[in-house]
C-alpha cells in the first residue's frame, strides 16, 4: 500500500513513522508514564497515516482526505492544549468545545471504517444511538439518555473515551513493541525462528507441522497478530506440510491453530497483555509469569494433536542438512533481543523501556551478518513497516472509546454483569460459555485485541462476582477473545491459512478449530483451578501444573481420534 502513495505522501509517511519511533523511544526512557501529550500525539500521527495509506480513489475525494487530516489535527490539538481547562469546566462546556467533540467523534468513525470495515462503524453508530435514546430502551438496559452534543463531549473529553485506556496503552507500550517486532524481523531473526525448529523436529513424525507449532510460538510472541503470524511463518510451513503428506485443509488449519498461541506467549503476548496490566494494575512481569505455563500447555496440546494426526496418516519429515545444535551455535545471538526484553521487564523496568533496549539490541545483532545489517535505509524501512503494522489496531481507538464511554455513561457495565449472572443462573460454566459466545460475535467485526478490551469491561465483573480472581478473569476473557480467529463462521486467521494452502476455507476453518481446542479448555482451567493462574500455595500450584500437564496430553490424545481408529480396528498406524 505504501508504494501506491505519491512522492510527497511517501515523504510525509516516512517522517511520521520516524517521529513515532524517535518520540516514543525518548518518552519511554525519560517519562514512562503517559500524559495527554503522549496520547494526543499518537492519535494525531495515527490519523494522518491512516488517511494517507487508506486513501480515496478519486482526486475529488483525495481533497476530502486532506480535509479530514486537517480536522483531525485541529480537534486533537485542541484536546491536547485545553486538557486542563476543559476538565475544570466539566458540565459547562462552551459551544466550541461541543463542536470540536462532535467533529472528533465523527472523524474517528470514518477512520475505523477505512481500516477495519463497516461492521465497526455499525457498532459505533448503534452505541451512539443507544447513548442518545437510552430513555426509550427496554427497562433492563434503559438509562437517562443525552443529547448528541453532550454524549460526544463525554466521549471526546472524558478519561474513558477516545483518549482512554486503549490510546494510553497504545502510546505507552504497544507501538514500541510493534516497532520492535519490525526491527527483529529486519535483523534476520525470523529465519532463525524457522531454521532452528526445522532442524530440531523437522525429521520427526509430522515434522513440518511440529516446525509450524514451534516457529509460531517463537515468532508469534512478538508479531502481535495471529493473522500476521499465519502469513509470515505459514508461507514457509504450509507448503512444507503439504509436501510431507498433510492434506491441504489440515496444513492450512494447523498453522492458524499454532499461530494464535503466540498471543498468549510471553514476553510480549500481542497487545492484550499490556492492556491487561493497565486494567488490573498488576506489573507486566506478573502478567508474564501467570501467562507462561498456560501458553506452554496450549502449544503442547497442539503439538500432541499434530503428532497423532501425523502418526495416524503415516507422515514423516525430512532430516535437515544441519543439526539443531549447529544452527543454535551459529545463530544463537538472534535470541538476545527477546532475552533482553524479558530480563529487564522481570527486573521491574517499564515495558516501553525494555522494548527500546530490545530494539537497540536488534540493531546490534544485525551487524553480525553483513547481509542483515540495519543501516539508515533499513532503519527507515523497519520504522515504516512498524508504523504501518500499528495502524490496524490504532485505527480502532476512536470507536473503542465510543463503545466504552457509552457503556460507562449508561451504566450498562454493571447491568451486563447482572444480566450474565442471571442468565447463567449463578453457574460459572454457563457464564464462561456466554462470554465465549459474546467474544465470538464481537470478534467477527473487530480486531481481537479490541474484542478483549470491550468484553473485559463488561464481563470481568460477572466472573469476579462468582469468585474468580481478577487476573484469572481477565485471562479467561483474553483467551476467549482469540476464538474468532479460528472458530467458524468468520475465522480470519484460518481463512488466511486456507488461502496459502489452496484449500477449502470451511474445511480449513473446522480443522483449525479442531487443533486449537485447548483454547476453550484454558478458560475453564483459569476459572476452576486457581493454581493455573498462580493463585494459591506453592504446593497447590505444583499439583495443578502436574495434573494439567498430564491432563493436557490425555485431552489432546483423545481429541486426535487416533485411539478410536486403533481400538475399533479401522486400520493400523503407518508411522512408527
CB atoms within 10 A of CB 572: 8
Residue 132 confidence (pLDDT): 93
Tell me the backbone φ, ψ of residue 497, rounded to 5 degrees. Answer: -65, -40
Residue 234 confidence (pLDDT): 83
Residue 223 confidence (pLDDT): 61
Domain map of the chain by residue range?
2-165, 168-391, 412-567
Contact between 240 and 195 under an 8 Å Cβ cutoff? The reply is no
Contact between 189 and 334 under an 8 Å Cβ cutoff? The reply is yes
Strand (E) or helix (H) holding 541? helix 538-560
Residue 117 confidence (pLDDT): 79
For the chain, how far is it from start to end, CA to CA, in angstroms? 48
Task: Give pTM, 2 decimals.
Answer: 0.79
Which three three-digit cell numbers place residue 463?
466472573
User: What are 512-523's pLDDT values in tens digits?
Assistant: 988 998 999 999
User: What are 369-427's pLDDT values in tens digits?
Assistant: 888 899 999 999 999 998 988 887 788 888 888 988 888 888 877 677 677 777 888 89
Tell me the backbone φ, ψ of residue 269, rounded to 5 degrees. Answer: 60, 40
Low-confidence ranges of the chain (pLDDT < 70): 32-34, 220-225, 414, 417, 444-446, 489-490, 562-576
Residue 32 confidence (pLDDT): 64
Residue 415 confidence (pLDDT): 74
How far apart CA 486 and CA 344 sit, in angstroms, is 33
Amino acid at each position: 500500500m505504501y508504494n501506491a502513495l505519491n512522492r510527497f505522501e511517501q515523504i510525509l509517511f516516512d517522517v511520521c513513522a520516524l517521529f513515532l519511533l524517535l518520540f516514543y523511544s525518548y518518552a519511554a526512557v525519560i517519562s514512562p508514564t503517559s500524559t495527554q501529550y503522549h496520547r494526543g500525539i499518537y492519535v494525531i500521527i495515527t490519523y494522518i497515516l491512516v488517511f494517507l495509506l487508506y486513501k480515496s480513489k478519486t482526486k475529488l475525494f483525495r481533497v476530502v482526505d486532506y480535509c479530514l487530516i486537517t480536522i483531525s489535527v485541529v480537534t486533537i490539538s485542541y484536546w491536547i492544549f485545553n486538557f486542563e481547562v476543559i476538565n475544570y469546566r466539566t458540565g459547562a462546556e462552551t459551544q466550541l468545545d461541543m463542536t470540536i467533540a462532535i467533529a472528533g467523534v465523527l472523524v474517528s468513525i470514518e477512520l475505523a471504517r477505512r481500516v477495519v470495515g463497516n461492521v465497526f462503524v455499525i457498532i459505533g453508530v448503534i452505541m451512539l444511538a443507544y447513548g442518545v435514546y437510552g430513555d426509550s430502551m427496554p427497562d433492563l438496559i434503559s438509562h437517562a439518555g443525552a443529547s448528541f452534543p453532550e454524549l460526544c463531549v463525554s466521549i471526546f473529553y472524558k478519561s474513558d473515551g477516545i483518549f482512554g485506556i486503549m490510546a494510553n496503552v497504545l502510546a505507552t507500550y504497544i507501538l514500541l513493541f510493534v516497532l520492535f517486532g519490525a526491527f527483529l524481523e529486519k535483523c534476520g531473526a525470523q529465519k532463525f525462528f524457522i531454521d532452528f525448529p526445522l532442524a530440531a523436529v523437522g525429521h520427526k513424525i509430522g515434522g513440518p507441522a511440529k516446525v509450524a507449532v514451534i516457529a509460531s510460538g517463537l515468532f508469534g510472541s512478538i508479531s502481535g497478530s495471529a493473522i500476521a503470524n499465519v502469513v509470515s511463518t505459514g508461507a514457509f510451513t504450509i507448503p512444507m506440510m503439504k509436501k510431507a503428506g498433510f492434506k491441504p485443509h489440515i496444513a492450512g488449519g494447523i498453522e492458524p491453530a499454532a499461530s494464535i498461541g503466540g498471543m498468549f506467549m510471553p514476553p510480549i503476548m500481542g497487545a492484550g497483555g499490556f492492556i491487561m496490566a493497565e486494567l488490573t494494575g498488576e506489573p507486566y512481569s506478573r502478567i508474564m509469569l501467570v501467562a507462561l505455563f498456560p501458553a506452554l500447555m496450549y502449544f503442547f496440546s497442539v503439538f500432541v494433536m499434530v503428532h497423532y494426526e501425523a502418526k495416524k496418516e503415516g507422515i514423516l519429515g525430512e532430516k535437515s542438512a544441519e543439526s539443531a545444535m549447529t544452527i543454535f551455535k551459529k545463530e544463537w545471538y538472534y535470541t538476545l533481543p527477546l532475552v533482553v526484553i524479558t530480563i529487564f521487564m522481570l527486573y521491574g523496568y517499564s515495558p516501553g523501556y525494555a522494548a527500546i533496549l530490545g530494539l537497540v539490541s536488534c540493531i546490534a545483532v544485525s551487524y553480525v551478518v553483513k547481509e542483515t545489517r540495519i543501516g539508515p535505509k533499513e532503519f527507515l524501512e523497519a520504522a515504516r513497516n512498524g508504523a504501518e503494522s500499528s495502524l490496524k489496531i490504532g485505527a480502532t481507538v476512536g470507536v473503542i472509546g465510543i463503545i466504552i464511554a457509552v457503556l460507562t455513561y449508561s451504566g450498562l457495565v454493571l447491568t451486563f454483569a447482572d444480566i450474565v449472572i442471571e442468565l447463567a443462573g449463578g453457574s460459572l460454566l454457563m457464564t464462561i460459555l456466554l462470554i465465549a459466545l459474546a467474544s465470538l460475535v464481537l470478534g467477527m467485526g473487530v480486531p481481537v485485541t479490541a474484542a478483549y478490551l470491550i468484553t473485559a469491561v463488561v464481563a470481568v465483573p460477572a466472573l469476579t462476582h462468582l469468585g474468580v480472581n481478577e487476573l484469572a478473569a481477565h485471562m479467561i476473557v483474553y483467551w476467549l477473545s482469540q476464538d474468532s480467529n479460528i472458530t467458524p463462521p468468520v475465522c480470519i486467521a484460518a481463512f488466511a491459512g486456507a488461502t496459502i494452502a489452496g484449500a477449502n476455507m470451511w474445511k480449513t476453518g473446522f480443522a483449525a478449530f479442531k487443533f486449537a481446542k485447548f483454547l476453550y479448555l484454558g478458560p475453564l482451567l483459569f476459572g476452576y483451578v486457581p493454581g493455573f493462574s498462580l493463585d494459591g500455595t506453592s504446593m497447590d500450584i505444583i499439583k495443578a501444573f502436574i495434573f494439567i500437564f498430564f491432563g493436557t496430553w490425555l485431552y489432546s490424545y483423545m481429541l486426535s481420534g487416533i485411539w478410536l481408529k486403533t481400538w475399533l480396528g479401522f486400520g493400523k498406524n503407518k508411522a512408527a
